[in-house]
Amino acid sequence: KRASETGLSCIAICDHDCVDGIKPAISAASQYGIEVIPGIELTAERHGREVHILGYFIDIEDKAFLKKLMEIRQIRVERIYKMVDKLKGAGLSLDPEKVFKLSGDGSVGRLHLAHALYKEGLISSVNEAFKWYIGDTGPCYVKGFKLKPEEAVETILKVGGIPVMAHPYTMGGDKLLLELIKVGLRGVEAYHPDNHKGIRKHFVEIAEEFGLVVTGGSDCHGAGKERILMGTVMVPYDIVERLKEEKARMGPRD
């Protein structure tokens, strides 16, 4: 509905380490004539720095893939318990079930934890949770399990997807991007709320040089992150067509 109201004709569902929202989205989108690209955003790490690898047009029925995601999800659950325990030590007592209720069947993360803290009146805003407690340098932060970026690229390729480096400007820049091209990366996210015009131009030029697909979007995480709501970054439809061409070029899976 939000996509329709914003004037979008196509959206990609790329939740972190989870595909549960794709089928419901496709069903709902059909009512509004919205095209949905099945995708994912795999969380990886290189030298202590988080890296996100997007996968477009993935096979969401692949059993080995779903098993891997389930294992990652369980690790995320355990991480929430550990952070809740640390928060208790900091004077913020929270029932972890409040967090899991917010995440539902999806992949639980820090944003759900922040919302739970806010809903229980333990903090004055969602941002406060990240600023003072569970941000990357916060006292209640617990490091999560991360794939290697190369593993994330390989995983997406195995399920017939197009691996794309998400917001590379904040994820290691050119060096990592060039390394991942060697192992099968097919695209780069140039259009993103964090990318000003000069950064977009830079990554478009890299994409042209190495024959990569250029992608983009709002990186919408829902109402908890108002700055990046759906539709805040409008991407031309020819980018979708280019993705489809790349998918066809890759051919059928082995």
Written as tens digits, the pLDDT of the chain (254 aa) is: 778 887 889 999 998 899 999 999 999 999 999 999 999 999 898 887 889 999 999 999 999 999 999 998 899 999 999 999 999 999 999 999 999 999 887 778 899 999 999 999 999 999 999 999 999 899 999 987 779 999 999 999 999 999 999 988 666 678 899 999 999 999 998 876 565 567 788 888 999 999 999 987 766 655 544 445 565 666 789 999 999 999 999 887 66
CB contact set of 214 (below 8 Å; sequence gap of 6+): 187, 188, 190, 191, 203, 204, 207, 239, 242
pLDDT, residue 225, reads 46
| Sequence-separated contacts (24+) of 96-104 with Cβ below 8 Å | none
Q: What is the pTM of this model?
A: 0.79
CB contact set of 154 (below 8 Å; sequence gap of 6+): 183, 184
pLDDT, residue 230, reads 63
Q: Which domains does the chain have, with CATH numbers?
A: 2-68+148-250 (3.20.20.140), 78-134 (1.10.150.650)
Q: Which of 158, 148, 193, 199 is nearest to 55 (CA)?
A: 158
Distance CA 214, CA 180 (A): 15
The helix or strand, by DSSP H or E, that contains position 53, with its residue range, turns out to be strand 49-56
pLDDT, residue 197, reads 67
